[in-house]
Amino acid sequence: MNVRIVNVVVFVTFLVISKDLEISLSSVVSVGDFNKDFFVTWAPNHINTTADGRERSLILDKDSGAAFASNEMFLFGEIDMQIKLVPGHSAGNVVAFYLSSDQPNRDEIDFEFLGNVTGQPWILQTNIFADGFDNREERIYLWFDPTKDFHTYSILWNLHQILFMVDWVPIRVYLNHADKGIAFPRWQPMSLKVSLWNGDSWATRGGKDKIDWSKGPFIASFRDYKIDACIWRGNPRFCRADSETNWWNKARFSTLSGPQSRLFKWVRKYHLIYDYCQDNARFQNNMPKECSLPKY
What are the tens digits of pLDDT across the range 110-129? 999 999 999 999 999 999 99
Residue 26 — pLDDT band, cuts 50, 70, 90? very low
Query: Is the model's pLDDT at 189 over the cut of 60?
Result: yes
Pick the residue with more confidence: 172 or 11?
Answer: 172
Query: Is the model's pLDDT at 153 over the cut of 50?
Result: yes
Quote the CA–CA distance of 121 and 290 in Å, as a whole number: 30
Mean pLDDT of all residues in 24-39: 76
Candidate from 7-11, 140-144, 263-267, 284-288 with smallest mean pLDDT: 7-11
CB atoms closer than 10 angstroms to residue 293: 12
CB burial readout 34-57, b (16+ within 10 A) else e: beebbebebbeebbebeeeebbbb
Mean pLDDT of all residues in 201-209: 96
- Most confident range (mean pLDDT) of 24-33, 208-217, 235-244 is 208-217
Pick the residue with more confidence: 16 or 101?
Answer: 101
Q: What are phi and psi of 229, to 5 degrees?
A: -150, 165
Residue 285 — pLDDT band, cuts 50, 70, 90? confident
Candidate from 13-22, 84-93, 236-245, 276-285 with smallest mean pLDDT: 13-22
Average pLDDT score over the chain: 91
Query: Is the model's pLDDT at 270 over the cut of 70?
Result: yes
pLDDT of residue 4: 55
pLDDT of residue 9: 52
Residue 23 — pLDDT band, cuts 50, 70, 90? very low
Query: Is the model's pLDDT at 21 over the cut of 70?
Result: no
pLDDT of residue 296: 86
Query: Is the model's pLDDT at 210 over the cut of 80?
Result: yes
Question: Coil, strand, or helix at residue 21?
Answer: helix
pLDDT of residue 295: 84
Quote the CA–CA distance of 30 and 32 in Å, as a whole number: 6
Catalytic one of 78, 112, 138, 290: 112
Quote the CA–CA distance of 109 and 78 in Å, as a whole number: 12
pLDDT 10s digits, 79-93: 999 999 999 999 999
Catalytic one of 55, 72, 78, 108: 108
pLDDT 10s digits, 49-71: 999 999 999 999 999 999 999 99
pLDDT of residue 24: 35
pLDDT of residue 28: 61
Mean pLDDT of all residues in 170-177: 97
The answer to whether the pTM exceeds 0.85 is: yes
Mean pLDDT of all residues in 34-46: 97
pLDDT of residue 17: 37
Q: What are phi and psi of 3, to 5 degrees?
A: -60, -40
Query: Is the model's pLDDT at 8 over the cut of 60?
Result: no
Quote the CA–CA distance of 11 and 6 in Å, as a whole number: 9
Q: Is 108 a catalytic residue?
A: yes
pLDDT of residue 243: 86
Q: What are phi and psi of 249, to 5 degrees?
A: -85, -5
